[in-house]
């Protein structure tokens, strides 16, 4: 039986010439999709080959998807949230599709906030440092761009999670980094200390 994740591979860009990888999330379940160009393209879902071919119906958002000897009618519509509404025969699912870089950046931003103090900003995934936007001693505000990294031919800004002072810049433009390599060290100041109840004056 067709899984919902297997319907998402046709959302890859038309005319691509390299292997495309992305993550599909449906109802808090995730699948890793890989598409290798060819006629037909070679599709893998979580490392397993899926014999799939796709034919568009005119210029609409309708497709005919053939997996093995089973044919499915598929309609794909992008929602204002950026997610996709995917209708396979009579089954509707809301789907989020992310490339590896976007997924890594989202995962990094979802990490719990740390207490104030020294904070090391790490690379969310392997890439090349395009530029460093700050210098040691510089004051930055939350959301300010610290470093720009290129990965998978896309540039992404690594930003400050909160206000602070740049204590150290670890990387330089042109440098190649791996996932979780140190980029910048911030000093966000000391956490406020609540008054001791025993020391409080009655």
86 and 115 share one domain: no
The answer to whether 146 touches 185, Cβ cutoff 8 Å, is: no
Domain region containing 139:
110-187
For residues 145 and 137, give the distance between their C-alpha atoms in angstroms, rounded to a whole number. 15
User: What whole-number distance in Å separates Cα of residue 169 and Cα of residue 99?
Assistant: 28
Domain final residue pick, 98, 126, 146:
98
Structure tokens at 153: 């031919």
Task: Retrieve residue 155's tokens.
Answer: 């540039």
Q: How many domains would you assign to the chain?
A: 2
- Range of lowest pLDDT (18-32, 75-89, 144-158, 181-195): 181-195
Rg over CA atoms, the chain: 23
Residues 8 and 83 occupy one common structural domain: yes
Look at residue 120 and tell me whether its pLDDT is greater than 80.
yes
Q: Break the chain down into helix, strand, coil percent, rounded to 5.
A: 10, 45, 45
Q: Is the pLDDT of residue 184 over 90?
A: yes
Percent of the chain residues topping a pLDDT of 90: 17
Predicted structure pTM score: 0.48
Cβ atoms of 21 and 42 closer than 8 Å: no
The whole-number pLDDT of residue 33 equals: 81
121-146 confidence digits (pLDDT tens): 888 778 899 999 999 999 999 889 99
Choosing from 98, 133, 163, the residue where a domain stops is 98
Q: Is the model's pLDDT at 94 over the cut of 50?
A: yes
Distance of CA 42 to the CA centre of its chain: 23
């Amino acid at each position: 039986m067709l899984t919902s994740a297997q319907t998402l591979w046709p959302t890859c860009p038309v005319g691509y010439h390299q292997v495309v990888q992305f993550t599909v999330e449906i109802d808090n379940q995730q699948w890793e999709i890989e598409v290798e160009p060819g006629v037909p393209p070679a599709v893998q879902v979580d490392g397993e080959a899926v014999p799939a071919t796709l034919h568009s119906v005119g210029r609409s958002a309708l497709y005919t998807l053939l997996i093995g000897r089973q044919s499915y009618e598929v309609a794909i519509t992008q929602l204002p949230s950026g997610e996709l509404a995917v209708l396979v025969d009579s089954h509707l699912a809301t789907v989020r599709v992310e490339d590896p870089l976007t997924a890594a950046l989202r995962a990094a931003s979802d990490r719990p906030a740390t207490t104030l103090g020294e904070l090391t900003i790490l690379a969310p995934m392997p890439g090349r440092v395009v530029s460093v936007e700050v210098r040691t001693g510089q004051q930055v505000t939350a959301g300010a761009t610290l470093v720009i990294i290129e990965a998978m031919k896309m540039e992404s800004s690594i930003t400050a999670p909160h206000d602070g002072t740049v204590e150290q810049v670890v990387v330089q433009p042109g440098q190649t980094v791996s996932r979780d390599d140190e980029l910048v060290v911030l000093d966000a100041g000391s956490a406020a200390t609540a008054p001791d109840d025993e020391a409080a004056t009655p």
